[in-house]
Amino acid sequence: MLVLVANLGSTSFKYRLFNMDSGDCLARGAVERIGDDESRCSVTIGDWSDTMVMPVPDHGVAVAACLQQLTDPQHGAIRDASEVAAIGFKAVHGGRMSGTFVVDDDVLDAMAEMNAAAPAHNPPYIAAMKLLRQRFPDLPLVAAFETEFHRTIPDSRSTYAIPKTWTDEFQVRRWGFHGASHQYIAERMAELLQRDDAKLISCHLGGSSSLTAVRAGQSVMTTMGMTPQTGLPQNNRVGDFDPFALPLIMQRTGDSLDVTLQRLASEGGLLGISGRSGDIRDLEQAADAGDTDSQLALDVYVEEIRRHLGGMMVALGGVDAIVFTGGIGENSRRVRRGVCADLESFGIVLDDAKNESADGEARLSSDGSSTQIWTVPTNEEWVVAKRAMKALGRHAT
């Protein structure tokens, strides 16, 4: 069984093709600049890579271009598009539908209800899904929502202190995101620790970041809330923020609510603090050159991670392993060092040499640390592919 996993942006289509019987990733690729006369369609299959430049007006044409490359007569991963059993989407917010579902009108309606909570994510997915249903009516589409893994968080940690009707009628609660990544880390750490009852803190750190506390493979606390805007400072998104500051900001700037929120979503986060960049690599380089605002951005980011880390250690009653994943988590020795600094009294001791030399999956804790520290590359697409296959099985019966 072959499953194509899609990760969509408003002008992009990134994908991986999995053989679900072997677990192998047969191909990966991307279509960029959708809507442009010179869109780039790239694919890698084994040692072979190919790039086409062609007009790609919409996501439906992007999928057709992807299938054309995958079925290349000489190098293709498949003979015919009919070999693909489904397209699985790493969908973001379904509100009342938090799980994995074969896409139908009800799924699309549920996503549309959450457009205001995920304006950068849901509309492109909805538009693409509608197009693909029209162009490939026999190809099942499956939405695996990022909120699914967090359905096990207790109400006491997912309920806001707001009027109850807002919670009940408008689905305003802490949903949590990056679910596929945190689920992969939970599953992989169960293998590495050779136990399924471990208490973990999964640190997904990248352009978009979140922490999740995991007990026995289930999410019990997470940093993101109603929207992907909340929790840790993001690349250029605000993170946690006092909403009662909005009237003052709007009064002083003269901006509307929509404009103010857009600025928080695009000019906030690490970019907002530094005034330079939201990319950790740029900030580390600038901080080393003496830029104090870049150093402040790094300090705020690390302190927020540590604040949530401490709360999760209390919620778990201790922690067996702290796991760093995502582009920053896997590659920034500086951030890992800052997060783990001075935690020896909690049994968390980072080995500096291991931290400096780590590459890929590696244990970073010292021999005397009672809590293990790891870097583990995530594989969200594999989790989505497994969810899609399970949903198809339920759908078929």
Encode 148-179: b = buried (16+ Cβ within 10 Å), e = exposed.
bbbeebeeebbeeeeeeeebeeebbbbbbbbb
Beta carbons of 293 and 167 less than 8 angstroms apart: no
40 is in an annotated binding site: no
N-terminal to C-terminal alpha carbon distance within the chain: 17
The rounded distance, in Å, linking the Cα atoms of 315 and 326 is 23
Backbone torsions φ then ψ of 200, nearest 5 degrees: -125, 155
7 is in an annotated binding site: yes
Separation in Å, CA 148 to CA 95, 182, 253, 260, 312: 10, 11, 39, 30, 20
The rounded distance, in Å, linking the Cα atoms of 363 and 15 is 30
331 is in an annotated binding site: yes
The closest of 38, 39, 42 to 28, measured between CA atoms, is: 42
| DSSP code of residue 81 | G
Angle at 363 between CA 359 and CA 367, to 5 degrees: 135
328 is in an annotated binding site: yes
Beta carbons of 185 and 321 less than 8 angstroms apart: no
126 is in an annotated binding site: no
Encode 114-136: b = buried (16+ Cβ within 10 Å), e = exposed.
beebbeebbebbbbbbbbbbeeb
381 is in an annotated binding site: no
355 is in an annotated binding site: no
In sequence order, the 6+-apart residues with CB closer than 8 A to the CB of 282 are: 276, 294
The closest of 42, 62, 63 to 51, measured between CA atoms, is: 42
359 is in an annotated binding site: no
155 is in an annotated binding site: no
Which spans in the chain are helix H?
A: 59-70, 105-113, 122-135, 155-158, 164-170, 179-193, 246-253, 257-266, 269-274, 280-288, 292-316, 326-331, 333-340, 352-357, 380-396
Binding site as annotated, residues for Mg(2+)? 7, 380
Annotated binding site for ATP: 14, 279-281, 327-331
Binding residues: 7, 14, 279-281, 327-331, 380
